[in-house]
């Protein structure tokens, strides 16, 4: 492939970023895949347009500094978002070309109180809405920390107040759940250590950040150039519990730009708890369900503690195709693949695309950034749909840039985005308001815990691939920020999504989010130990409830069995005496055992004959009693 160069003022622009003239009024566009260099005669004008978009949205009055090829094309992006906007334009051109379907992922407005009701259902507390008494909900409530309980109480209060206004039906009084003291819930909470884990020092405490050796901790270093100072993450304490009042100096100035050098990100290590480090794949599906409940509660409490509103998008799910490869939900792809390969966790087509690029494309210069041929990508797309499951597709014919185009197309074509979008605007708001990387990482960590299993496994495989791309920066000229800028539009400007200007202005923020995902992926897929502790308490509570229920069932069965035996037992003659079983054993024929509890001699065996009378038996007892009294 030939390369063209165009001198645009003081900037040397290199490589192809082909696009035909496009309308960008007010940034209201829909976006999708790449256009080939050979089919784009106007590509010389496209890059300056990308630069104009970049300048307009970054509010830069001064011209960008000059760059030269000597420091590699990747160096352009340390102070520019050009690659991001060129990728957006490529996606838009592909959509207009018809190579991808444009199915809108709609967002429904929420009625008053509906978001709170959905939130209570999402965290496993639907019983608070229905009014039913269930052990699972009680077990969950009993494990909440102080801040988590306050978050639940706040949403439940809003929900009940809304219902009372609408006069729908009578709802449970909040005091029935959280006690009479609004500021201090009465149910048992998990004891919290005073050690802060967010870098915000509590009054009267010493900071706990310190450098430690990597022998006892999880090292998440991605590359060289990390700062010498290492910060420790402690997951023994919930994130929300260690936040008091966030200083105003923590907020990011509106015009402050992200530092795009890889070394700008700190190095974090996670101290192992006494139970060790637990990864997402180590837990059962039932335990991960509880982790998701607790993660959403903790995320909400975390935002409340930071004073940031946790807004949620109510997305209408797009129904995908039932068969094929592209545009099919991950769950359906997995179901189809697991029929042939039981236990597989990542769709086969996604694995093959990643494997192809890992085997031959990691050292390709500009991989992911330089687009392949749109016509070839379209033909390969159709050929894959027809031949992939027949195992007749020739992967050797696929060029690396075309494979990268297919990979990005697969991600964009998913009916539901790879990363959940409900809380993406809230996370963007947090990143823009809170400049501390540690706090951003903690919020992102909880968002990862919320991912469905299929999305989480596919995202992990994708991020591992991106990490390998960055590791080969010396040959492919793609550093961490370059990769993040190219990947961000494909992840977050999802299928058919029409972005408004505010979302477009968040371009640098979305690229920063991808950078955090790649850099700290080893940490993000580790389950925080405080969540593990809460799940353990939930399981113990459920086990105790099961034991109590089992004992109750045994008692009921025993009582019913006794009543049944009594009903089936033949009636005794009136006046007959029944002796305990131990007094009825080993009695020979013709001998009776007389039971007299009021005498010193409680019982006595009497040999009967035809002359025996009752007075004879009484005389025997009196005789025995006198003998006992004389020897006392």
Residue range 53-78, pLDDT digits in tens: 555 555 543 443 333 333 333 333 43
Q: How many CB atoms lie within 10 A of CB 586?
A: 8
What sign does the CA torsion over 377, 383, 387, 389 have? positive
Q: How many CB atoms lie within 10 A of CB 142?
A: 15
Structural tokens at position 316? 């209408």
pLDDT value at residue 434: 84
**CA distances for 200 relative to 144, 301, 306, 430, 589, angstroms:** 22, 16, 11, 16, 89
267-271 vs 230-233, strand pairing mode: parallel
Q: Whose CA is closest to 430, among 315, 520, 312, 309?
A: 309
Residue indicated by tokens 């687009």: 371
| Strands (DSSP E) found in 244-396 | 267-271, 278-279
Helix axes 135-142, 529-568, angle to 10 degrees: 140
Rounded Cα distance between 161 and 113, Å, is 8
Average pLDDT over residues 230-248: 78
Rounded Cα distance between 234 and 277, Å, is 11
pTM of this prediction exceeds 0.85: no
Q: How many CA atoms lie within 13 A of 1 on its CB side?
A: 20
Residue range 191-200, pLDDT digits in tens: 444 333 333 3
Answer for the pair 270, 233: CB distance below 8 angstroms, yes or no.
Answer: yes
Element (H, E) at 515: helix 507-519
Rounded Cα distance between 512 and 518, Å, is 10
Answer for the pair 484, 514: CB distance below 8 angstroms, yes or no.
Answer: yes
Q: How many CB atoms lie within 10 A of CB 611?
A: 6
Rounded Cα distance between 113 and 166, Å, is 10
What does the chain come to in residues? 632
Rounded Cα distance between 441 and 117, Å, is 28
Structural tokens at position 42? 């106007």
pLDDT value at residue 119: 85
Rounded Cα distance between 314 and 317, Å, is 9
Question: Which segment of 176-185, 278-287, 496-505 scores lowest on mean pLDDT?
Answer: 176-185
Rounded Cα distance between 473 and 82, Å, is 19
% of the chain residues with pLDDT over 90: 28
Q: How many CA atoms lie within 13 A of 56 on its CB side?
A: 14
Residue indicated by tokens 């005669």: 41
- Tell me which of 275 and 342 has the higher pLDDT: 342
Rounded Cα distance between 335 and 331, Å, is 6
Answer for the pair 477, 395: CB distance below 8 angstroms, yes or no.
Answer: no
3-class DSSP state for residue 471? helix
Highest mean pLDDT among 50-59, 293-302, 613-622 belongs to 293-302
Residue range 401-451, pLDDT digits in tens: 999 999 999 999 998 888 877 777 778 888 888 888 999 999 999 999 999
Structural tokens at position 198? 């967010």
Rounded Cα distance between 175 and 157, Å, is 10
- Tell me which of 60 and 512 has the higher pLDDT: 512
Q: Mean pLDDT, the chain, as a whole number?
A: 72
Q: How many CB atoms lie within 10 A of CB 256?
A: 10
Produce one character per residue of 405-427: b if its CB has 16 or more CB atoms within 10 Å, e if not.
Answer: bbbbbbbbbbbbbbbbbbbbbbb
């Amino acid at each position: 492939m030939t390369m063209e160069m165009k001198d645009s003022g003081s900037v040397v622009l290199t490589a192809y970023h082909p696009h035909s003239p496009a309308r960008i009024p007010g940034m209201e566009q829909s976006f999708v895949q790449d256009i080939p260099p050979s089919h784009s005669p106007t590509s010389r004008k496209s890059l300056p347009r990308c630069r104009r978009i970049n300048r307009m949205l970054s509010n830069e009055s001064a011209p960008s500094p000059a760059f030269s090829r000597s420091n590699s094309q990747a160096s352009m992006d340390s102070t520019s978002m050009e690659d991001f906007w060129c990728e957006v334009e490529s996606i838009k051109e592909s959509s207009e070309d018809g190579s991808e379907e444009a199915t809108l992922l709609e967002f429904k407005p929420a009625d008053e109180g509906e978001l709170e009701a959905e939130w209570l259902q999402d965290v496993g507390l639907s019983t608070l809405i229905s009014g039913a008494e269930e052990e699972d909900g009680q077990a969950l409530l009993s494990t909440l920390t102080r801040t988590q309980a306050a978050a639940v109480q706040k949403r439940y209060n809003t929900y009940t107040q809304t219902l009372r206004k609408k006069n729908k039906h009578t709802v449970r009084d909040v005091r029935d759940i959280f006690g009479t003291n609004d500021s201090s819930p009465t149910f048992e909470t998990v004891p919290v250590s005073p050690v802060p884990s967010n870098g915000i020092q509590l009054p009267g405490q010493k900071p706990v950040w310190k450098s430690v050796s990597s022998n006892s901790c999880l090292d998440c270093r991605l590359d060289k150039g990390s700062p010498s100072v290492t910060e420790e993450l402690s997951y023994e304490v919930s994130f929300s519990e260690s936040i008091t009042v966030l200083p105003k100096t923590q907020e990011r100035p509106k015009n402050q730009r992200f530092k795009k050098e890889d070394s700008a990100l700190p190095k974090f290590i996670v101290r192992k708890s006494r139970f060790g480090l637990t990864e997402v794949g180590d837990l059962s599906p039932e335990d991960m369900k509880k982790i998701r409940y607790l993660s959403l509660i903790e995320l909400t409490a975390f935002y409340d503690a930071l004073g940031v509103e946790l807004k949620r998008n109510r997305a209408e799910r797009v129904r995908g195709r039932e068969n094929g490869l592209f545009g099919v939900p991950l769950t359906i792809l997995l179901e189809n693949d697991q029929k042939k390969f039981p236990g597989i966790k990542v769709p086969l087509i996604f694995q093959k695309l990643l494997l192809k690029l890992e085997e031959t494309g990691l050292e390709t210069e500009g991989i992911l950034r330089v687009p392949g041929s749109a016509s070839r990508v379209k033909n390969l797309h159709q050929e894959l749909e027809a031949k992939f499951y027949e195992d007749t597709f020739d992967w050797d014919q696929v060029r690396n840039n075309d494979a990268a185009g297919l990979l990005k197309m697969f991600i964009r074509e998913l009916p539901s985005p790879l990363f959940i979008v409900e809380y993406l605007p809230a996370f963007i708001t947090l990143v823009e308001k809170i400049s501390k990387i540690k706090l951003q990482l903690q919020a992102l960590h909880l968002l990862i815990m919320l991912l469905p299993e299929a999305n989480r496994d596919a995202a992990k495989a994708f991020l591992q691939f991106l990490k390998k791309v960055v590791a080969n920066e010396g040959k492919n000229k793609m550093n961490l920020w370059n990769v993040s800028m190219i990947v961000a539009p494909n992840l977050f400007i999802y299928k058919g999504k029409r972005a408004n200007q505010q979302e477009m202005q968040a371009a640098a923020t979305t690229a920063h989010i991808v950078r955090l995902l790649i850099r700290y992926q080893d940490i993000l897929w580790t389950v925080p130990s405080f969540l593990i502790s809460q799940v353990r308490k939930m399981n113990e509570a459920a086990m105790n409830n099961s034991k109590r229920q089992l004992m109750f069932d045994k008692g009921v069965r025993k009582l019913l069995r006794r009543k049944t035996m009594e009903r089936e037992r033949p009636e005794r003659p009136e006046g007959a005496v029944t002796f305990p079983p131990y007094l009825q054993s080993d009695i020979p024929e013709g001998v009776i055992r007389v039971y007299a509890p009021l005498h010193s001699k409680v019982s006595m065996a009497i040999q009967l004959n035809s002359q025996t009378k009752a007075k004879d038996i009484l005389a025997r007892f009196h005789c025995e009693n006198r003998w006992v009294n004389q020897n006392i």
